[in-house]
Structure 1
Amino acid sequence: MNLATIASLSVGQHLYWRTESVAVHGETLLTSWFILGLLGIVSIAGNSNLKSIPEGLQNVTEFSLEFIRDIAKTQIGEEEHKEWVPFIGTIFLFIFVSNWSGALLPWRVIELPNGELGAPTNDINTTAALALLTSIAYFYAGIAKKGISYFKRYVEPAPFLLPINVLEDFTKPLSLCFRLFGNILADELVVGVLLLLVPLLVPVPLMLLGLFTSAIQALVFATLAGAYIGESLEDHH
């Protein structure tokens, strides 16, 4: 193994599906559809024959629901969290399963004409879309509850804070986007390089650590999304 081999590792090559005016990352859509399909199958299988004493996949789905409810309740509040459980849950589960798929599934075994398959969250377009959805969600939450008076928050507690408060709404999605993308990309790059240098044993602890950090990143994203929604619903006096 030499430096030339390591240098041949490339980042950012994609299989593009093109129309006249739009080019989309085909491999990201393929893996995203797979993740969504997997979540749908598990959800249907776990809830198609509900029992008073849960067993099998019903245990998994009920535990996941309770966990997500706790996140939403903690961040948004007892009174208003229920209507946001589906959004928080979808965000959390998609990121969680996407992150783990990058660590557990041998995506690279499937050859493509260009680029390679990988976790959807390894594409900054995916993380940017998730961050944008979160921004839309907390704006919608605040405006739906308070109407036009929602925008009073930009001049509270003092009018001279207007630029800072506006800037904050730009930094929230940026931090969500780059935190998730950076962590997942860094993890996959480190494991990929170590697999080239030392194919056996050494990368295993890092892969296990990657599973842990991937789960934490999903939790952090969902928690912050809930916190931002809760902040927009909060009454300021």
Structure 2
Amino acid sequence: MVHNLYQSSLDSFKKLPIFLNISSVEVGKHLYWQVGNYKVHGQVFIVTWLVMCTLLIIAFIGTRNLKRIPENFQNFMEYVLEFLQDIAKNQIGEHEYRPWVPYISTIFLFILGSNWAGALIPWKLIQLPEGELAAPTNDINTTVALALLTSFAYFYAGLRKNGLGYFSRYIEPTPVLLPINILEDFTKPLSLSFRLFGNVLADELVVSVFTLLVPILIPLPVMILGLFASSIQALIFSTLSAAYIGEAMEGHGEHE
């Protein structure tokens, strides 16, 4: 019996290269940068840093000369801040939302900037040795990273608020639901990442197909619709992130 178990394990090990080869299959071409022992998608980093620099410049211009009575661009910046505060307040709660405003705001602004960068800028006019520039959220690695950040955030929020009593949520209202509650924590980042990735990718594909099939003026309404959809995706991602954080802080394990 031991011999059969050993032989079975050996056969499984011999088949591993097949799975490794399958996992190395790629869709499309990418511009790779070698960073130590790792390869990163260069085109994603280029547009990501452009988006971050743009957001930083806008923030600097809007806050460099603050006045007690806001006017011009400061009015716009304060409106944006109030809008983002409302997202956190409505989902997390009026008494606990303030520490999470920076995170929710950063998530929303980065996704919005990334989506709009892919929708507004004709990146295809810039030729790269391999691959092509596009919205960072058009890459599954970016959306998964953002979703994992949210997962770490709501675990941290729950543990900080309730301590180890946070894990009692997995057996509420009955221990029978333990596997389902654990599975839910794995499906949250999956749904966040694939929803954002799928919608951004689909929008860019639709615009590309329309541009190839019909004159340039026809796809313009689709591009405008794409801008609206991109904004909605940023709102959905940030709202769900705030909702998950608020859910983790609901009071599991607290003693009345």
Residue in structure 2 matched with residue 7 of structure 1 by the alignment: none
Alignment gaps of 5+ in structure 2: 1-25
- Given that residues 138 and 229 in structure 1 are in contact (C-alpha distance below 8 angstroms), is that contact kept between their aligned partners in structure 2? yes
- Given that residues 42 and 57 in structure 1 are in contact (C-alpha distance below 8 angstroms), is that contact kept between their aligned partners in structure 2? no
Residue in structure 2 matched with residue 81 of structure 1 by the alignment: 97
More off after superposition, 187-196 vs 104-113? 104-113
Alignment partner of 1:111 out of 127, 136, 150: 127
Residue in structure 1 matched with residue 83 of structure 2 by the alignment: 67
In 2, distance between residues paired with 1:20 and 1:137?
28
Residue in structure 1 matched with residue 59 of structure 2 by the alignment: 43
TM-score (norm 1): 0.93
- Given that residues 46 and 56 in structure 1 are in contact (C-alpha distance below 8 angstroms), is that contact kept between their aligned partners in structure 2? no
1:116-155 equivalence runs, <5 A: 116-155=132-171
In 2, distance between residues paired with 1:151 and 1:84?
21
In 2, distance between residues paired with 1:178 and 1:101?
19
TM-score (norm 2): 0.86
Residue in structure 1 matched with residue 215 of structure 2 by the alignment: 199
**How many residue pairs get matched?**
228
Shift in Å, 1:147: 0.8
Alignment RMSD = 1.4
Residue in structure 1 matched with residue 249 of structure 2 by the alignment: 233
Residue in structure 2 matched with residue 157 of structure 1 by the alignment: 173
- Given that residues 50 and 58 in structure 1 are in contact (C-alpha distance below 8 angstroms), is that contact kept between their aligned partners in structure 2? yes
In 1, distance between residues paired with 2:131 and 2:75?
38
In 2, distance between residues paired with 1:227 and 1:56?
33
More off after superposition, 17-26 vs 203-212? 17-26
- SS at 1:179's partner residue? helix
Percent identity over paired residues? 64
Runs of 4+ in 1 over 6 A off after TM superposition: none
String of CA shifts for 1:72-117, please: whole Å, max 9, x gaps: 0000000000000000000000001111111111112211100011
Residue in structure 2 matched with residue 95 of structure 1 by the alignment: 111
Shift in Å, 1:157: 0.6
Residue in structure 2 matched with residue 31 of structure 1 by the alignment: 47
In 2, distance between residues paired with 1:144 and 1:117?
40
In 1, distance between residues paired with 2:28 and 2:160?
39
Residue in structure 2 matched with residue 3 of structure 1 by the alignment: none
Alignment partner of 1:182 out of 193, 198, 209: 198
For the pair shown, the structure with the greater C-alpha radius of gyration is 2
Alignment gaps of 5+ in structure 1: 1-9
- Given that residues 88 and 226 in structure 1 are in contact (C-alpha distance below 8 angstroms), is that contact kept between their aligned partners in structure 2? yes
- Given that residues 162 and 252 in structure 2 are in contact (C-alpha distance below 8 angstroms), is that contact kept between their aligned partners in structure 1? no
